[in-house]
Amino acid sequence: MNAMRWAGVMPAITTPFTADDRVDEKSLHEHVDWMIRSGCTGIVPLGSLGEGATLDFDEKARVLQIAVAAAAGRVPVVSAISALSTREAVRIARKAEAVGCRGLMVLPAYVHKGPWREHSEHFSAVFDATPLSCMLYNNPIAYGVDVRAEQIREFAERHPNLHAVKESSGDSRRVTAIVDLLGERLSVFVGLDDMLLEGVAAGASGWIAGLVNALPEESVQLFEHARAGRTKEARELYSWFLPLLRLDTLPEFVQAIKVVQHLLQGNDAFARLRAPRGMVEPALFEHIVKTLRSRGFLQNERS
Active site residues: 137, 166
Q: Do residues 49 and 42 touch, judged by C-beta distance below 8 A?
A: no
Rg (CA), the chain: 18
Q: Taking the chain, what is the end-to-end CA distance rounded to the nearest angstrom?
A: 55
The b/e string for 129-160 (b: 16+ C-beta within 10 A; e otherwise) is bbebbbbbbbbbeebebebbbebbbebbeebe
> Residue 112: which H helix or E strand, with range?
none
List strands edge to edge, sheet with 103-106: 8-11, 206-209, 187-190, 162-167, 133-138, 103-106, 78-81
Local structure of residue 142 (DSSP, 8 states): H
Q: Three-class SS of residue 6?
A: coil
Which of 192, 32, 46, 29 lies closest to 106, judged by CA?
Answer: 46
DSSP-H helix ranges across 86-205: 86-99, 116-129, 140-143, 149-158, 172-182, 196-201
